């Protein structure tokens, strides 16, 4: 992996690197103001510059299937545009069908008042049980949740709180998944180029595992829901566990990617993947992006976009030249279920353990088989080592969602 990084980096002229860095800095500042004012026109010159530079960057390499592949490869090494498209071509129609058939679920009780100090206390207690060693982590409030680490013994988690919902719970679990990956990397790999996850998709698979596969499951909440009710008796005291589980697992199309549910989320990603390929290929006029975005949102999710702030300007990625990043989110969903199948084989009584509030065996299995290896293997090699196949397979992910949606409809 280290030689591969060097071989790729040395192909890029220093002056191009400088221009890309400067364009990313100025683009981010312009995006902040443009999103606030819902003013795409003011952001357009900065986007145009970033796209032009990314096209030049892609030309530094010789990837045959698409000029988009070198950009994707920055975040998901050894992955090609063709491979991602094959996976997304399976996901898109299947997810669209699932969303269209999703039942209406009453989740109004999750829009009650949940005092932020109690949210923070509950979230911190929850995260403390997931497998972090004492003193190796902390969690703090932020405007947009993220996880960063300075070693496997210094993990900084952040989440955001709103007094009228409980999204901080799953945000905390999501960031804890990233943190557990960093925490589990072998100490011998720290301070070396191998001291990280091999790809963003692999890393995202673990944030999705803890947020969704664990954190939206019945066994997990069999243990934790009574404690959540005790924390918020006014809002949840009379809400049954079944009603709570239906609400936190429902599918409902919306405008904003970061607020999307499990079933609709990957559709947001596929939309961006399609647009990004056209940006790099030069087959769309940049000034037409809002119109293109809005049309795809209607086609993919059936929603109308009221303004550019909630549409084409909602994400930070393009402002800093982060083209090629988005697919890794959906790939993380796919990979998470491929690994989860092996977890289930290795820990046949996992549901009983989760229902007892014990994630120690799960956490240790993931550390030993995945996290501890850092970047010693490529993403494909690591996936093959864990699951027996290095190929992406969307079917376990789709089967999981179908089972969940069928359960909601029952």
Q: Which residues pair with 157 in a beta bridge?
A: 139, 147
Segment 301-313 shows an average pLDDT of: 97
CB 386 within 8 A of CB 367: no
| Confidence bin at 143 (pLDDT 50/70/90) | confident
Tokens representing 311 are 């549409």
CB 397 within 8 A of CB 333: yes
Listing from the earlier edge strand, what are the strands of the sheet with 154-159? Answer: 137-141, 154-159, 147-151
In this predicted structure, the answer to whether residue 283 has a pLDDT above a threshold of 90 is yes
Q: Give the pLDDT confidence of 200-229 residue by residue, as tens digits.
A: 999 999 999 999 999 999 999 999 999 999
- Cα distance between residue 118 and residue 111, in whole Å: 16
Helix (H, G, I), strand (E, B) or coil at 138: strand
In this predicted structure, the answer to whether residue 264 has a pLDDT above a threshold of 70 is yes
The per-residue pLDDT for 407 is: 86
Residues with catalytic function: 175
Percent of the chain clearing pLDDT 90 (strictly above): 95
The per-residue pLDDT for 410 is: 57
| DSSP per-residue letters across 146-188 | -EEEEETTEEEEEE---TT--HHHHHHHHHHHHHHHHHHS-GG
Tokens representing 240 are 């049954």
- Cα distance between residue 67 and residue 342, in whole Å: 35
CB 170 within 8 A of CB 46: no
- Cα distance between residue 112 and residue 324, in whole Å: 38
CB 28 within 8 A of CB 316: yes
Segment 334-362 shows an average pLDDT of: 98
- Cα distance between residue 354 and residue 125, in whole Å: 16
Q: Give the pLDDT confidence of 35-79 residue by residue, as tens digits.
A: 999 999 999 999 999 999 999 999 999 888 999 999 999 999 999
CB 209 within 8 A of CB 341: no
| Confidence bin at 409 (pLDDT 50/70/90) | low
- Cα distance between residue 196 and residue 157, in whole Å: 16
Q: What does the buried/exposed string (b/e) look like for 315-341 if buried means 16 or more CB atoms within 10 Å of the residue's CB?
A: beebbbbbbbbbbbbbbbbbbbbbbbb
Number of H helices, E strands in the chain: 18, 3
| DSSP per-residue letters across 346-397 | H-TTHHHHHHTT--HHHHHHHHHHTGGGTTSS-HHHHHHHHHS--S---HHH
Query: How many Cβ atoms are within 10 Å of 368's Cβ, its own excluded?
Result: 11
CB 326 within 8 A of CB 273: yes
- Cα distance between residue 196 and residue 373, in whole Å: 9
Q: Let me know if 387 is exposed, middle or buried by CB neighbors in 10 A (0-12, 13-18, 19+).
A: middle
The per-residue pLDDT for 64 is: 82
Segment 4-10 shows an average pLDDT of: 93
Interacting residues of 230 by C-beta distance below 8 A, sequence separation 6+: none
Segment 174-186 shows an average pLDDT of: 98
Percent of the chain clearing pLDDT 70 (strictly above): 100
CB 51 within 8 A of CB 279: yes
Q: Give the pLDDT confidence of 71-124 residue by residue, as tens digits.
A: 999 999 999 999 999 999 999 999 999 999 999 999 999 999 999 999 999 999
In this predicted structure, the answer to whether residue 306 has a pLDDT above a threshold of 90 is yes
The per-residue pLDDT for 62 is: 87
CB 396 within 8 A of CB 338: yes
The per-residue pLDDT for 102 is: 93
Q: Where are the domains of the chain?
A: 2-103+254-328, 108-252+351-372
Averaged confidence pLDDT in the chain? 97
Q: Which residues pair with 155 in a beta bridge?
A: 137, 149
Place of tokens 């011998």: 188
| Confidence bin at 270 (pLDDT 50/70/90) | very high
User: What are the two backbone dihedrals, phi and then psi, of residue 339, each rounded to the nearest 5 degrees?
Assistant: -70, -40
């Amino acid at each position: 992996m280290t030689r591969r990084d060097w071989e790729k980096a040395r192909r890029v002229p220093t002056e191009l690197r400088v221009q890309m860095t400067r364009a990313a800095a100025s683009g981010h500042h312009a995006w902040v103001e443009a999103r606030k004012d819902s003013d795409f026109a003011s952001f357009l010159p900065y986007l145009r510059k970033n796209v032009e530079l990314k096209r030049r960057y892609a030309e530094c390499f010789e990837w045959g299937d698409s000029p988009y592949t070198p950009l994707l490869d920055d975040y998901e090494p050894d992955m090609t545009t063709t491979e991602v498209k094959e996976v997304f071509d399976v996901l898109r129609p299947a997810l669209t069908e699932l969303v269209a058939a999703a039942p209406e679920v009453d989740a109004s009780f999750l829009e009650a008042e949940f005092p932020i100090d109690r949210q923070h206390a509950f979230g911190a207690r929850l995260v403390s049980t997931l497998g972090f060693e004492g003193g190796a982590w902390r969690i703090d409030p932020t405007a947009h949740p993220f996880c960063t680490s300075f070693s496997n013994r210094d993990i900084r988690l952040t989440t955001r709180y709103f007094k009228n919902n409980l999204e901080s719970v799953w945000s905390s679990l999501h960031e804890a998944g990233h943190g557990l990956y960093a925490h589990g990397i072998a100490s011998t790999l720290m301070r070396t180029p191998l001291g990280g996850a091999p790809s963003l998709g692999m890393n995202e698979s673990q944030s999705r595992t803890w947020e969704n596969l664990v954190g939206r499951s019945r066994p997990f909440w069999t243990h934790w829901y009574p404690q959540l009710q005790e924390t918020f008796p006014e809002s949840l005291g009379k809400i049954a566990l079944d009603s709570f589980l239906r609400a936190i697992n429902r599918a409902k199309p919306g405008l904003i990617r970061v607020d999307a549910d499990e079933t609709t989320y990957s559709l947001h990603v596929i939309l961006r993947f399609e647009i990004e390929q056209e940006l790099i290929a030069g087959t769309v006029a940049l000034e037409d992006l809002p119109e293109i975005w809005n049309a795809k949102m209607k086609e993919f999710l059936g929603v109308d976009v009221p303004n550019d702030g909630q549409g084409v300007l909602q994400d930070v990625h393009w402002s800093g030249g982060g083209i090629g990043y988005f697919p890794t989110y959906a790939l993380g969903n796919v990979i998470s279920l491929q690994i989860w199948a092996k977890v289930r084989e290795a820990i046949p009584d996992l549901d009983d353990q989760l229902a007892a509030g014990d994630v120690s065996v799960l956490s240790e299995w993931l550390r030993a088989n995945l996290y501890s290896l850092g970047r010693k293997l490529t993403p494909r090699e690591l996936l093959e080592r864990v699951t027996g196949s290095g190929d992406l397979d969307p079917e376990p992910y789709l089967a999981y969602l179908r089972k969940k949606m069928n359960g909601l409809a029952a």
